[in-house]
Chains A and B, each alone.
Chain A
Amino acid sequence: MNEVKVGVFLSDCGNQLSKILDFNALTNYVKDVSDVVLVKRNSEFWRGEGLRIIVDAVKGGKINRVVVAESLPKLSEVSIVQAVEEAGLNPYLVEVIDLKDHCAWPHRETPKEATEKAKAMLLAATERAKLLEPIEKLEFPALKSVLVIGGGIAGMQAAVDLADLGFEVDLVEKEPFLGGLAARAGRFFPTDDCAICIQSPASDVKTITHTSRKCVYRSGFTEIPNLNILANSKVVGVEGVPGNYKVTIEKKPRYVNELKCVRCDLCTPVCPVEVPDEYNAKLKTRKAIYMITPNVHPPVYVIDESVCKFRDCAKCVEVCPTDAIELDQKIERVTLNVGSIIVATGFQEFDSSVIKEYHYGDYPDVITNLELARMIDGFGPTGGTIIKPSDRKPAKKIVMVQCVGSRDRRWNPYCSSICCMISLKHASLIKTAYPDTDVTVCYIDIRTTGREHEYYYERAREMGVKFVKGRPSEISRDPETGRLIVDVEDELLKRFLELDADLVVLAPAMVPAEGTKELAEILGLELEEDGFFKEYNAKLRPTETKLRGMYLCGGATFPKDAPTTSLHAHSAAMKAAKFLITGKIVKDQRTAVVNEEYCGDCEFCPVTCPYGAISLEPTSEDHIVARISDLLCEGCGICVGTCPLNAIELRHSRPNQMLAQMKALMSINGTSKPLILTICCSECGHAAVDSSGMAMMQYPANVRVMKVPCTGILQVHQFLEAFKVGAQGVMVVGCKSDGCHYEVGSQQAEKKVALARMLLKEYGIEPERLEMFNMVYIEGDKFAEAAQTMTERLKKLGKLQLMEGS
């Protein structure tokens, strides 16, 4: 290894910092630190002339470690690291610290103390820099192909986006036909277009450059060459890693050859089996061989194997002119190799029959919004007439009931967010077609939060739809007349109404689609408490999951209207495209590494790793060791903190680097107060320290900050080490317990701190010398306060007495 030559670059921020910190003293101090060969001072080092000074020193071979004290390190670090890399040095041999927000600003009232702290900070950065090692960038293959699961509005949109961008796309739908829930909705708000649009993608692929809307059943969706539709199919297994998954699909037999069927419709008239048509809310029947509507994808008949008599009948086989019917088809297994997976499995209506007081399922004239939608649809089972299912006579008095199973802590505590609009849309459509129909909507709150949505509410009132504020308590049926009675309190009138109705339409909650849980298990994805797929972070990382390479969109994450679903689908498609577009995944090796000599036969780290990056593999010596995937490892170090044998280290945060930093920070005091080591995570913890400095909140200079990737990396013995090297107190600052950027790091650290406190007590050291704090960026004041409090506490406790050997 080459001789270590450190260059230290001190930015005085246009002489702002030198008003507080004694830069001459700092320069003189750093000069004498071993292995420091160059010390420069400038007003800034992250751009222009200052940056050139660094680059020249690196290029000339004068230095091979770079320490920069610069303000706003979050910003400046990026350009410095990049320039250093271009100059020919490994970019991970750079250490940037912030003398402004971590020193000068928060200690401006005690400039002498601040200067002494700055020395310690520079020493710590230099000592760490000396121990840094080059880190390589790795490349992993990424297949330019995507599996989209779910052929509803979201899945189709994402599939078309990616196909248009040139990716190979496989679209898997569990039903025999595409379209999903949305296809049954009749019409969509806020544009009132027919929902059949959804049975194919929203754009005409042949005329993708045109902005005019094309009627979709003529769009040629099935003809996109790089889009492979697998209807009647489901995912049964996934192996592999992001960029290279092997997916097993189980394809149910269709019993009709897709290539031979010409949709002549000779088969359905001869089929003797007639069953209620689920797709049409059982308001009509269909045959065992059927298509749900004439314009669907794939445009091929299917045989319902649960009711078909097969060889005992085979009448369809006899009449089929193209021999398309193949009663011997079996379940097929297909294996796909894809780089990425998009889950678009959507939602479904909640089963309202569990709310017994509404008697859905008992009374045929109590129906759901989706069932009503089938009636409103001109292509639907009633041709657009609103009927009472009990006697098929027109329904003249309709009562709608909102929030059925939504906002209901017995079933689904959340607001399903689209049901108000669905009901308003239905009420308006009914009033438009049949103005003399009496429509009453019973609601708790009407929620019309999107563009054009409030207009629906307004229009409904104009049309004479009645609104009753109150959630009905019961729907009963007069056994003699068969009429329904809806009991509700009109809260605004404080009057109890018994609404007489031909038809009661429930607005059920929207819940995750059937099979969501099973799919999540297969894919290794997490679900929210409400059962929907968990987005990595709704604000910062929508449509992403914790697993890179797997994305979510549409109703799979929460109920959504059609426009939002489209947007969501575009987002997921974009994320997948971004991930795969270069055909490779470039990732640096700032990852964990296992010392296989120490590692063996325990299972802690794979369980704790939030990213599933650790697997256990048997070695030749008949024992098991942990192996870390450089692709999946996020470099948090939670495994390091978990390993009972000290067998894991992070390449970019080795124990010797941390110890050297600690020692340096504690080597100079310069204040009369007890030294405190603050170990903060690089996310919220560090940000809180930043923000307190930026806001010039004052805390004493005896508080020294050391950054680690995540507090989850910390091990119990490190706290003891901190006391040994001179700390009188230790503060651990991490993200909120439930807001850790690495999921469980903060929680792990809390456990370690609790354990360490017990140990301290055993050693006769006051446990309150060690404390964990959880903060976010905006809580800079909390950090300053904690630093103050801790200092006062330690003053009261007096000097730490360490027993020999502890």
Chain B
Amino acid sequence: MTSYALFLGCTIPARQPSYEVSARRALTKLGIELVDLANMTCCAPPPVQSLDLETGLSIAAYNICLAEEADLNIVTLCTGCFESLAMANAMLKENEKLKARVNQILSNAGKEFEGSKEVKHYLQVLLNDVGPNRLKENVSKNLSSLKVASFSGCHLLRPSALLKFDDPEKPYIFDDLIETLGAKSIWYRHKLKCCGGLLRGYADDVALALAREKIVNTTKAGADCIVTLCPFCFLTLDLGQVLMKSTFHEEYNMPVLHYSELLALALGIDPTELALQFHKIKVYSVLNKIG
């Protein structure tokens, strides 16, 4: 059994239990052990980097240090956490001067960043540790009538020079993993564009406008649902539709699912055990298409 230190982050436990439940259930079922480490903190995502990049890097490095001490690689569920941690990991491994500076800061907290561990998004675990073949073998439901508009979130792919996850202009890993479950991943305009999630709270109007574009484009393309990897994207697109209704009087009812939920459903885990009631836009239409 492959073990990882689970980096849970803030948004998932704070708002999206269905993400956590489905991810834990599905990954465990596929033979991945998730270890919860004590004393992890916020990953230092863009809002923290905006306040002070150096502090942000140091926080990320601190959390990686905890995994280094436990001798485990990190797996994240949230795309934002993946970016913060993987970016810091890569920057500090590449740049000796920066590493020295960060270690000087970390020494006050009794830590030293070594650069001995990897930060992975759970998609990489599915791809490399489980593998598409085993994944396919474990699929027990038929998703073939489901047309999925995938949206990985920006920070799975970019900055690609540091994250090295997938081709930033022609990504395929996420779509392939959707199709491995049997669903069809469809094209829609501006698929790789941001959902505006990070602007929520500062410029809600702009954030909502961006989310609306995404909903409009996916609806136009005839998607049955949007599948995301990032709790921020999820929130923007799911809760966003409620706001669209009140702001623009537009009703789309486009279900938004986490990939982990789709995965759990495909693996045959009972939908009632997945806390799907926390979705603002109901997902019955999707459940009905899963045979």
How many whole Å from B100's CB to the nearest CB in chain A? 27
Asked if A356 and B169 make an inter-chain contact with CB atoms under 8 angstroms apart, the answer reads yes
Q: Which residues of A contact B167 (CB under 8 A)?
A: 356
Report the Cα distance A356→B157, complex, angstroms: 14
Report the Cα distance A356→B170, complex, angstroms: 7
Q: Which residue of A lies closest to B221 (CB)?
A: A479
Residue-wise, chain A 135-156 has the 8 Å CB interface mask toward B (1 for contact) of: 0000000000000000000000
Report the Cα distance A476→B170, complex, angstroms: 11
* A357 contacts the other chain (CB 8 A): yes
Q: Which residues of B contact A357 (CB under 8 A)?
A: 169
Asked if A476 and B189 make an inter-chain contact with CB atoms under 8 angstroms apart, the answer reads yes
Residues 166-212 (chain B) with a chain A CB within 8 angstroms:
167-170, 187, 189-190
Report the Cα distance A356→B167, complex, angstroms: 9
* A622 contacts the other chain (CB 8 A): no
Q: Which residue of A lies closest to B186 (CB)?
A: A479
Q: Which residues of B contact A356 (CB under 8 A)?
A: 167-170
Asked if B189 and A478 make an inter-chain contact with CB atoms under 8 angstroms apart, the answer reads yes
Report the Cα distance A479→B191, complex, angstroms: 13
Residue-wise, chain A 351-374 has the 8 Å CB interface mask toward B (1 for contact) of: 000001100001000000000000
Asked if B170 and A479 make an inter-chain contact with CB atoms under 8 angstroms apart, the answer reads no
Using a Cβ cutoff of 8 Å, how many contacts connect chains A and B? 10
Q: Which residue of B lies closest to A356 (CB)?
A: B169
Q: Which residues of B contact A476 (CB under 8 A)?
A: 189-190
Asked if A479 and B169 make an inter-chain contact with CB atoms under 8 angstroms apart, the answer reads no
For chain A, the count of residues having a C-beta within 8 Å of the partner chain is 6
Report the Cα distance A781→B236, complex, angstroms: 66
Q: Which residue of B lies closest to A477 (CB)?
A: B187
Q: Which residues of A contact B170 (CB under 8 A)?
A: 356, 362
How many whole Å from A357's CB to the nearest CB in chain B? 5
Q: Which residue of B lies closest to A485 (CB)?
A: B189
How many whole Å from A360's CB to the nearest CB in chain B? 12
How many whole Å from A749's CB to the nearest CB in chain B? 32
Q: Which residues of A contact B187 (CB under 8 A)?
A: 479
Q: Which residues of A contact B190 (CB under 8 A)?
A: 476
Report the Cα distance A362→B170, complex, angstroms: 10
Q: Which residues of A contact B189 (CB under 8 A)?
A: 476, 478
Report the Cα distance A21→B35, complex, angstroms: 92
Report the Cα distance A357→B169, complex, angstroms: 6
Q: Which residue of A lies closest to B169 (CB)?
A: A356
How many whole Å from B119's CB to the nearest CB in chain A? 25
Q: Which residues of B contact A478 (CB under 8 A)?
A: 189
How many whole Å from A569's CB to the nearest CB in chain B? 40
Report the Cα distance A479→B190, complex, angstroms: 12
Q: Which residue of A lies closest to B161 (CB)?
A: A410
Report the Cα distance A476→B189, complex, angstroms: 8
Report the Cα distance A126→B169, complex, angstroms: 74
Q: Which residue of B lies closest to A474 (CB)?
A: B169
Q: Which residues of B contact A479 (CB under 8 A)?
A: 187
How many whole Å from B162's CB to the nearest CB in chain A? 15
How many whole Å from B190's CB to the nearest CB in chain A? 8
Q: Which residues of A contact B168 (CB under 8 A)?
A: 356
Report the Cα distance A112→B158, complex, angstroms: 74
Q: Which residue of B lies closest to A479 (CB)?
A: B187
How many whole Å from B172's CB to the nearest CB in chain A? 12
Q: Which residue of A lies closest to B193 (CB)?
A: A474
Q: Which residues of B contact A362 (CB under 8 A)?
A: 170
How many whole Å from A464's CB to the nearest CB in chain B? 30
Report the Cα distance A362→B187, complex, angstroms: 15
Q: Which residue of A lies closest to B170 (CB)?
A: A356
How many whole Å from A323's CB to the nearest CB in chain B? 53
Report the Cα distance A357→B170, complex, angstroms: 8
Apart from A356-B168, A356-B170, list 8 A-B contacts with CB within 8 A.
A356-B167, A356-B169, A357-B169, A362-B170, A476-B189, A476-B190, A478-B189, A479-B187
Residues on A facing B (Cβ under 8 Å): 356-357, 362, 476, 478-479
Q: What are 10 A-B contacts with C-beta separation under 8 Å?
A: A356-B167, A356-B168, A356-B169, A356-B170, A357-B169, A362-B170, A476-B189, A476-B190, A478-B189, A479-B187
Nearest first, the 10 closest Cβ-Cβ pairs linking A and B are: A356-B169, A357-B169, A479-B187, A356-B170, A356-B167, A476-B189, A478-B189, A356-B168, A362-B170, A476-B190
